[in-house]
Structure 1
Amino acid sequence: MTRREKTDAARTESKTLTRRSVLASGAVLGATAVAGCLGGGGGGGGGGENGYNAAIISSPAGFDDNAFNDNALEGLEQAAEEFDLEVNSIEETQEAQYESVQADTAEAGYDLIVMVGDHHTGPLETNASEYPDQNWMLINNVIDGADNVSGWIEMNNEMSFLAGVAAGTMTQEDYSEGGGATNPDESVVGFVGGEDIPLINAFEQSYIEGAEWVNENVEVLTGYSGTFSDTAPANNLAESQIDQGADIVWHAASAAGAGVFSAAQDNERYALGVDVDQSVTEEQYQDVIIGSAVKALNEATYTVVEAVINDNFSEFVGENNLSIEQESIDFITGQALGDSLPEVLSTNIEDAKQAIVDGDVELSCGPTRC
């Protein structure tokens, strides 16, 4: 018996998925309190005579990705609205520059420096020891033995599994709301990754496992666009997968993922968002975004800067996690399509979350690599 056959009338009272305010955040990033980029001759942190300052260095995707980087920045911006805090967003898309940019930022003087993404790990292994009095926050990895680094591991494998469950569920449904339609006669879904790196490989495999968990007959087409910023390769790859029968495509390609949404819209198929509610951040595509697999990264950055301000940063040194069990990983339905989606989607997502919490699902990959 398939998972779908087990989710019939007995569980129709399962609640419809909602967009929890903390996870639906990331919609519009306010410019308030952002001091701008650290440019040539870059000045210090500022922050006022008695205030605080924080810097955030982007991943290769850069800011304005409507996903990962913006979600991290938003937590700092929220803190800036509540505390005497200035935030400096430093966009650096070249991984080769990370060691020097981290060092320059530490020299400038900040109460906290946030680094978005595992690409920063190697350089920080050097800089954490070079600048032992600097408070660092690293997203997507941990620096073992460093007593000045707060490392945050999002359970991306859990998040990806939920995306797979959503795709595997909906490709079986006869659904034609908004700007797309499924083909229930075939069970084919797609995945478009950005760079072909261990982190995104873990996204891919966990997505496949989620789709197969709920739909044993599903076929999952996968590929990599080679970029987190250029939408054209992602669009071409999604178009190819749709041509091969995929009626739902999920991306793990940061800003490049907009190319997946446009492919779905142009071909009257559907897509799934990542990291934040992309039916909000990519509102022009909301008629084809069934939902998004999300993580409360904004909560994490807010928590750490608040800890610095309250002088208890040491409580968050080492490894910290965002997970389904902590209610900081979820799948939320899109703002345009949510009310029209079949109840089986909500039921299967809730079943999958409970199965992960109960230990009934063993994922092949960890949160950052397989």
Structure 2
Amino acid sequence: MRKFKSLLVAFVLVIFATSTLLAGCAKKTEEPAKQEETKKIKVGLVFDVGGRGDKSFNDAAYAGLERAQKEFGDKIEVKYLEPLAGGENREQLLRLLARDKYDLVFGVGFMFTDAIAKVAKDFPETKFALIDGYVPDLKEDSNITCLLFKEHEGSFLVGAAAALKSKTGKIGFVGGMKIPLIEKFEAGYIAGAKYINPNIQVLSDYIGTTGDAFKDPVKGKELTLKQIKNGADVIYHASGASGVGVIEAAASQKKFVIGVDSDQSLTAPEAQRPYILTSMLKRVDTAVFETIKSMVENNFKGGYKEFGLKENGVGYAENEFNKDLIADIKPRLEEIKTKIINGEIKVPTSKKEIK
């Protein structure tokens, strides 16, 4: 009997020790699993008409998304969507991302304004970033931030560059959709040119009155050739993917052309590069990256954020292809840039203000 009791006690001790050992192992294997479950911030972006590959506005937004993915790859996951050709499903795509519980959703372009205002009300937990659009009465605790740019400041600089390089005293502007936003580009360009030469003539044309005007390179080419025929020897475009036709036409006639939004000489065919004087940089990439960064750092704020020359949100391009082209005018452009930043030059936002 005593022997049986001893065996029973020994058996219980073995069972207890084994249970404790297994529990300890289980605890150790659970801890790494918890570390792996760190929730990533989901970032969605919806392009506007023209989509990725427009070599302009949409591509600039994608560059910001790409930069964020490289820098915060372990903290975020990203997805981008393209609308139908006419852009009529913008709201549907925004809702799709919000329903899929994306934490931050971008709408690339002012055409998203109404859609984002509507969808943001239905998904208060989702943050929305509207590029180039304005939703009134936003506050810091709003779930919408409007990313705005001082396009007129950058356009003033390239307008000055055009006037400094023009030999005919005539320069051109080709806009996409005729709306106040694109007229800001035109106003800054005219003002900058006239700052250099009050007597310069600026020929202006718009491709259309709908969103399709930003994806019509054939019309862009046609208007550029018309302006060149009428004496313009430097052409600036603010027309999205339509600008492909503008650049092609100017280069074919061996006239200078000024790109927009991104540094367009970097993506242009080699034969066109000698004629791309510069590009008016609109740092949509910076705005996208900084907004994602604010989410990663848990510092997102609703309301309005504006990017001008002072914030390095706009400017003019200089690279290996155009460095020599602008070498003689760069000191003057830098002088003008400083005066704008310091407030010595007030850049108009519309043609009415130019006077």
TM-score interval, normalised by the smaller of the two chains: 0.7 to 0.9
Map of 1:77-226 to 2, 5 A cutoff? 77-83=66-72, 84=74, 85-92=76-83, 93-143=85-135, 144-145=137-138, 147-171=142-166, 184=167, 186-226=168-208
Q: Pairwise CA RMSD of aligned residues? A: 1.9
Q: Which amino acid aligns with 1:109?
A: K
- Deviation at residue 162 of structure 1 after TM alignment: 1.3
Q: Deviations over 1:286-322 (max 9, x none)?
A: 11101111122212211111221222113xx211111
Equivalent residue for 1:60? 49
State how far apart, in whole Å, the 2-side matches of 1:275 and 1:54 are: 22
What is the alpha-carbon distance in structure 1 between the residues aligned to residue 120 and residue 39 of structure 2? 25
1:69 is the counterpart of 2:58: yes
Q: In the TM superposition, what whole-angstrom CA distance separates every residue of 1:23-79 from its partner, at most 9, and x where no partner exists?
A: xxxxxxxxxxxxxxxxxxxxxxxxx86323211111223221111111111111111
1:88 positional shift: 1.2
**Which is further off, 212-221 or 97-106?**
97-106
More helix by share: 2
Residue among 200, 222, 225 paired with 1:236 = 222
The normalised TM-score by structure 1 is: 0.78
* Partner residue of 2:253 out of 251, 260, 267: 267
- Evaluate the alpha carbon distance shift between residue 233 and residue 334 of structure 1 in structure 2; reply closer, same or farther with a 3 A threshold: farther
Letter in 2 for 1:122: D
Q: Displacement, 1:334?
A: 5.0
| 2:285 match | 298
Q: Are 2:240 and 1:254 equivalent residues in the alignment?
A: yes
Gaps of 5+ in 2: 1-36
CA distance in 2, matches of 1:68, 1:101: 19
Aligned residues: 305
Q: Distance in 1 between matches of 2:44 and 2:120?
A: 15
Once the two structures are overlaid, the 10-residue window that deviates more, 260-269 or 353-362, is: 353-362
1: CA distance, partners of 2:262 / 2:100: 31
Deviates more, 1:83-92 or 1:232-241: 83-92
Q: CA deviation at 1:351?
A: 2.1
**Pairwise CA distance, 1:209:** 0.9
Aligned residue for 2:25?
none
Structure of higher RCO (CA pairs closer than 8 Å, 6+ residues apart) = 1
Q: Tell me which amino acid in the other structure corresponds to 2:163.
A: G
Q: Is the 8 A contact 1:290 1:333 kept in 2?
A: no
* Structure 2 Cα separation of the partners of residues 262 and 95 of structure 1: 26
For 2:182 and 2:326, locate their aligned partners in 1 and report how far apart those are by CA, in whole Å: 28
- Matches of 1:102 and 1:330, distance apart in 2: 31
Q: CA separation of 1:340/1:200 partners in 2, compared to 1, >3 Å: closer, same or farther?
A: closer
Name stretches of at least 5 consecutive residues in structure 1 with no aligned partner.
Answer: 1-47, 172-183
Say if 2:320 is the partner of 1:335.
yes
User: Structure 1 residues 142, 340: CA separation in 2 closer, same or farther (over 3 Å shift)?
Assistant: closer
SS of the counterpart of 1:300? helix
In the aligned structure 2, how far is the partner of 1:73 from the partner of 1:342? 30
Cα distance in 2 for residues equivalent to 1:319 and 1:283: 37
Cα distance in 1 between the residues matched to 2:68 and 2:218: 35
The structural deviation recorded for 1:350 is: 1.2
Alignment of 1:362 onto 2:346 = yes
Matches of 1:69 and 1:304, distance apart in 2 = 16
CA shift for structure 1 position 119: 0.8
